[in-house]
Each structure stands twice: as structure tokens, then as C-alpha cells.
Amino acid sequence: MKRNRRAIILSIVITAVVMMIAAGSLVFFVWIPKTNELKKQLDNYQTIVGDNLHSVYVSAKSLNAGDVLNAEDVYVTSVYLTNPENVINDNDIGKTLLIDIPENEIVYQYNLVHEIPTETERRVEYSCFTISKGMTAGSYIDVRIRFQNREDYAILTHKMISELNEDNHSCFLTVDENEIRRMASAIVDANVYEGHIYATAYTLGVAQSATEVTYLPSYSDPDFKESYFTNEMVEARDAMVRRLIDYAEHKVTYTSGIDIRDLSKPLESDVSDTYGSGSESDKNKK
């Protein structure tokens, strides 16, 4: 009887010891490593959140396009944001809103402009030029045209992309009437003279000065010619057209965009009909 009791007690003790060893092994080999792994993940997430936690300006109320942004229109709060480059700062207070902004929305620099748009400015979608990788809404760009004879001209300069549509490779720019006409003329020139329209981005965006516009559009519209062109601009446009025609017909190579031939020769008759050769009154124009 005593032996049976001892055997039972011994088996219970052995079982308890085995279970304790198993439990200890489970804690040591499974639970502790898993806990350490979870702790590392938590630390990693906290680091990511901390690195991407930024103070931003948020609209304190609904804001309307055309209004001037005042200090009381926004408040500062911390939010998780992976791309904080385009959020506004103190220097943007006092600029004009381009779009309506609902309450409690982050305000971005591309929602604002330095000056109130003129009466002729419009928001136009363009898909006729190449959008390079890295250009986003808020990027400042020049739109340029390059011809086969290596002449390269700036059509639009220091334009902010207000919206980018990656599906159809188009973007929205704010342009005035003269800029719309320059773009329309450049599109025609690109087709007639096999030019390439493309965009280049400013590395410092709004902080950089605008490039000088160097492209001279067609002056076939009399009203546009009267309001936009000087006599020198007409002559320069005619000279550019001559060089492009010469290159297309004879594949002449030019250096630095300068025709080595006499530019005083008259335009080809078909070009004169299309673009005009400049009247005497145009030459007296200032």
C-alpha cells in the first residue's frame, strides 16, 4: 500500500517537473523570442511614425478660391506625412487661394499663388509634351520646343503643375491668353517642322527665377500680331522659319542656332502666305 502511494507521489512529482521544464522551454524558446520580435517591430513602427510626424498648416474653416490666406484661416497641428515638401509655411501666409479648401484639410503650396490671376488666365489641360519622372503636382516647369536643327526655345516658363493626370499623361497649367496662343502655335510648329515639345523642372521650385521666354509664335492672326509682336519679333520669327525650312529641305547643319547663310533673303512664298512677311506698318511698329 505504501509502495503504491510512493509510486503515485513519485509519478506526480515527475509529471510536475516535466511540465515545469516544458513550460520553461516554451517561455525561453518561443515566448521570449516572440516578445522580443514584437518589441522590435513596435520600436520600428514608432521610429517610422516619429520620422514622418510633421507640423503642418490645416484649414481652420472652409476656404474659397480667390481669397487671401490669413493667419487666422489656418492652425498648426502634427500629422503623419511621408511627403511634407509641398506643405505651406509662414512665408505663404498672404498668398491667394487657387482652389476651394474644406475645413481641416492640409494646405499645400500648389493651392496658392503669389498674385491674383489676371482676367485672361485660365486653367488648361495639356497632353502635348513629355512629363518627366519626378514631376508632381506643385512642380514648377518650363515648357520648351526643340527642332531637328537643334534650335531649342522656351514657350512657357516657371509654370506650376496644379494637377497631374498620370492615366493620360496630361497636366493642368494656369496660362493667360498670350501663353495659350504661344502653346497653340508651338503645337503646330512641332507638327510642321518635326519639333519635340517637352518640360523641364526647376530644382528649387518657386524659389528660382523664371527662365526668359524665347519662342516666337506664328503671327498669322492680325489681332495677335498687333498686340504682341514688334517688328524685331516678326523678323526673328521669319528667320527661324527660314532656318527650319532650309534644314528640312537641305539638312543644313547650324551652329548654336545661328544660320550661317544670309538671313535677309525673302521668305519662301508658301511660308509668306502662311505667316506673313511683315508690312511696312509692322516695320514702323515699336
Domain containing residue 196: 122-207
pTM assigned to the model: 0.52
Query: 254 in a domain, yes or no?
Result: yes
How is residue 110 annotated by DSSP?
A: G
Handedness of CA 21, 25, 31, 36 (dihedral sign): positive
Do 129 and 183 fall within a single domain? Answer: yes
Do 128 and 198 fall within a single domain? Answer: yes
CB-neighbour burial class of residue 129 (10 A; exposed 0-12, middle 13-18, buried 19+): buried
Residue at which a domain ends, from 182, 207, 232 = 207
Residue at which a domain ends, from 66, 95, 113 = 113
Longest dimension (CA), the chain: 136
Residue 60: count of CB within 10 angstroms of its CB: 14
Q: Please give the tally of structural domains in the chain.
A: 4
Query: 70 in a domain, yes or no?
Result: yes
Do 142 and 77 fall within a single domain? Answer: no
- Cβ pair 107, 58 in contact under 8 A: yes
| Per-residue pLDDT reduced to its tens digit, 127-180 | 888 778 888 888 899 999 999 999 999 999 999 998 888 777 889 998 998 999
Query: 215 in a domain, yes or no?
Result: no
Residue 244: count of CB within 10 angstroms of its CB: 20
Per the model's pLDDT, the better-predicted residue between 49 and 23 turns out to be: 23
